A and B are shown apart, each in its own frame.
Chain A
Amino acid sequence: MKEDKTLLRVEGLSTHFMTEDGLAKAVQEVSLEINSGETFALVGESGCGKSVTALSIMRLVPDPPGKIVAGKIMFRGRNLLELSDRQMRRIRGNRIAMIFQEPMTSLNPVYTVGNQIVEAIRLHQKRSESEAWALATEMLGTVGIPDPEQRVTEYPHQMSGGMRQRVMVAMAVSCNPTLLIADEPTTALDVTIQAQILDLLDGLQKQNGMSILLITHDLGIVAERAEDVAVMYASRIVEVADCETLFAEPLHPYTEGLLKSVPRLGFAGERLYTIPGTVPEPLGFPSGCKFHPRCPIGAGDKRCQNDEPQLRQVGDGRCVACWYARGYETEAERNEYESKYGKHERISSQG
């Protein structure tokens, strides 16, 4: 068991929100595995459930209205969902740390950044006030903030957005977490600052071997930084693969469409590929496969309209949830389909 490379295994996680307008199934049957020392990217558009997945792992989903209704979150052999609040507090911020998109709003404006880092350190480690301050100052230096002795006594508003994100990173890694959840860590930043922060995370990962769960909508960041990728759409994971395979040979039509529609440097064409329609909201999910109204195959297919495909392994480390992905459909399912609706020869991916 000790040699198991898997650090975090999420199995069948479902998180629902009771809203005034009805039950919003924000995360449905999400499963993923993050290996030690690796970067796992969770990609998707706004509202697909990627942030709620992260909050569920941290057990930070506000309850009510939210509730984790099913699943297991296995972290180093323990199911986080079975821990008491007290046990969870010892893990949160310590073994699993998190950084957020908004460095402006996730720091407290009325405390100095030093105070906030020291608080995190002293909550989890037996250190004296002065030791903690020394460590906080050291951490600010580690994350590349110039003149840390001065900066540690400053307030968040005295810093730029990039600096504040560095402070967040310093706070998150001050207790040497084994898993860092980075939820859109650079979305609010300029590209040159984004590159600095991502390089910083890379460096820290190499230094202390932590795993990173990188949540983003930016396929470029995924392509450059992740080992494994899961693509989420409308509260479900629709495809999992290692990074190179996913970009070279996407199996799910949504992944394929997404990859084709991003403007890239050097693209000289007249028009961009588009996925028609809009991202559905949790209260108005379509029946069957949730992507079917926007899908070149599913839009006209009875099975896609009625039966939701589950995430299924189709190759070494590859999972996909699409009836027409290569290798997905079983013989029995094909026969059943053909007896109901007639012959089909469709396969989604060009791969």
Chain B
Amino acid sequence: MESTNGYLLKVEDLKTYFPIRKGLLRRTVGYVRAVDGVSFDVRRGRTLGLVGESGCGKTTVARTIVRLIPATAGRVSFEKTDILRADKKQMRNIRSNISLIFQDPFGSLNPRMTVGNIVGEPLKVHKRITGTELMGRVGDILSRVGLSRDHINRYPHEFSGGQRQRIGIARALILEPKLVVCDEPVSALDVSIQSQILNLLKDLQGEFELTYLFIAHDLAVVEFSCDAVAVMYLGKIVERAPADELYRNPLHPYTIALMSAIPRVDPSQRRARAVLGGEVPSASNPPKGCRFHTRCPLAEGECFEQTPPLEEKDGGKGHFVACWKR
């Protein structure tokens, strides 16, 4: 049923809490509510951008979805399977259909393994392919991501940051997954390399019919790469909309502040901006009411008392925002 409505991944009211333990007996004295009731869905063949500043929980969402971190509550449906309640066998199947691309191309590749072994390992584990067939497949995928077959026997340190990110992408794609979670895939790269990788990800999406969950903090990168965007603040989604709608008409004061904080690459557009004061509060003790109220220029009355629900605004465009003032 789910597969017919066009959604590959559906996340409902996902919560991930980390216990804070103190004292000799390591008693739990509280929780860091890293992800606190997040819902979104990703359509087949599309890209959803998950945006927010460091510590907002965007990476935790990604890791919870692939069960690298146990969820506290909620539901994550991938095709017809509930990932959070899948047994070992189902999980094996899911893991070969969801892969990850990480931010740091230096830390995410084992320096003692050759490129061939790094990229080929998922095939060995999931498909039990070995020997010349394995290396043939590795060579194929390397040439698809802009590397060469001759690179198979080399080691990661022989490559530049951009090339290493290509190795990471090759590893993520070798099982021909349906969903790829890209966690800040370009933020560690040089400017002239970023655009190469962003274009590559787009090309591969068409070629392999991939669906992306794209995590980033850079709104300009997200605008280029994504069809829909969800903005996170302190463990909650504060605004979610199709990309063109969100960029044309941002509603949440946090989204607006985030956009205004991005330096424009054009000196003729120098302007006085609304600088957001203060810092992100701690997720172990989030502010009461709307979590953004401590930094919000519009906050008054009920903002301090009640958490605003994520509701559709402006009718029919799929634009959801969690703000009492909109």
- With A195-B273, A263-B221: A224-B263 Cβ-Cβ less than 8 Å: yes
- B268 on the interface (CB 8 Å rule)? yes
- Give B250-290 as 1s and 0s: 1 = Cβ < 8 Å from A's Cβ atoms: 00000001111111111111100101110110000000000
Q: In the assembled complex, which residues on chain A have CB atoms less than 8 Å from the CB atom of B261?
A: 191-192, 194-195
Does the CB pair B267–A223 fall under 8 Å? yes
- A156 on the interface (CB 8 Å rule)? no
Q: State how many residues of chain B have any CB contact under 8 Å with chain A.
A: 44
Does the CB pair A196–B190 fall under 8 Å? no
Q: In the assembled complex, which residues on chain A have CB atoms less than 8 Å from the CB atom of B262?
A: 191, 220, 265
- With A191-B217, A195-B273: A220-B265 Cβ-Cβ less than 8 Å: yes
- With A243-B267, A258-B191, A279-B160: A264-B202 Cβ-Cβ less than 8 Å: no
Of B117-125, B131-139, B193-201, the stretch lying at the interface with chain A is B193-201
Does the CB pair A274–B195 fall under 8 Å? yes
- B104 on the interface (CB 8 Å rule)? no
Bound-state Cα–Cα, A261 to B193, Å = 9
Secondary structure of the B contact surface, majority rule: helix
Q: State how many residues of chain A have any CB contact under 8 Å with chain B.
A: 45
* Chain A, 47-72, CB within 8 A of any chain B CB: none
Q: In the assembled complex, which residues on chain A have CB atoms less than 8 Å from the CB atom of B223?
A: 263, 265-267
- B219 (CB) vs chain A CBs: closest residue: A265
Bound-state Cα–Cα, A193 to B190, Å = 21
Question: In the complex, which of the residues B161, B163, B191 contacts A261, with contact meaning CB atoms closer than 8 Å?
Answer: B191
- B208 on the interface (CB 8 Å rule)? no
Bound-state Cα–Cα, A73 to B94, Å = 61
- B153 on the interface (CB 8 Å rule)? no
Q: In the assembled complex, which residues on chain B have CB atoms less than 8 Å from the CB atom of A271?
A: 199, 202
- With A192-B258, A263-B223: A160-B263 Cβ-Cβ less than 8 Å: no
Does the CB pair A262–B191 fall under 8 Å? yes
* Chain A, 259-284, CB within 8 A of any chain B CB: 259, 261-267, 269-276, 278-279
Q: In the assembled complex, which residues on chain A have CB atoms less than 8 Å from the CB atom of B220?
A: 262-265, 267
- B79 on the interface (CB 8 Å rule)? no
- With A192-B258, A195-B275: A264-B192 Cβ-Cβ less than 8 Å: no
- A47 (CB) vs chain B CBs: closest residue: B190
Bound-state Cα–Cα, A46 to B202, Å = 25
Least Cβ–Cβ distance between B129 and chain A, in angstroms: 31
Least Cβ–Cβ distance between B276 and chain A, in angstroms: 4
- A190 on the interface (CB 8 Å rule)? yes
- A25 on the interface (CB 8 Å rule)? no
Least Cβ–Cβ distance between A244 and chain B, in angstroms: 5
A-B pairs with beta carbons under 8 Å apart, 23 shown:
A45-B192, A46-B190, A190-B217, A191-B53, A191-B262, A192-B258, A192-B261, A192-B275, A195-B273, A217-B191, A220-B262, A247-B265, A248-B267, A258-B191, A259-B265, A263-B218, A263-B221, A264-B220, A264-B266, A265-B259, A269-B224, A272-B199, A279-B192
Please give 11 more A-B residue pairs, beta carbons under 8 A apart, in addition to A160-B279, A263-B218: A45-B191, A163-B279, A190-B280, A191-B258, A195-B260, A225-B263, A247-B266, A263-B221, A270-B202, A274-B195, A278-B193
**B-to-A contact residues, CB < 8 Å:** 53-54, 160-163, 190-196, 198-199, 202, 217-221, 223-224, 247, 257-270, 273, 275-277, 279-280
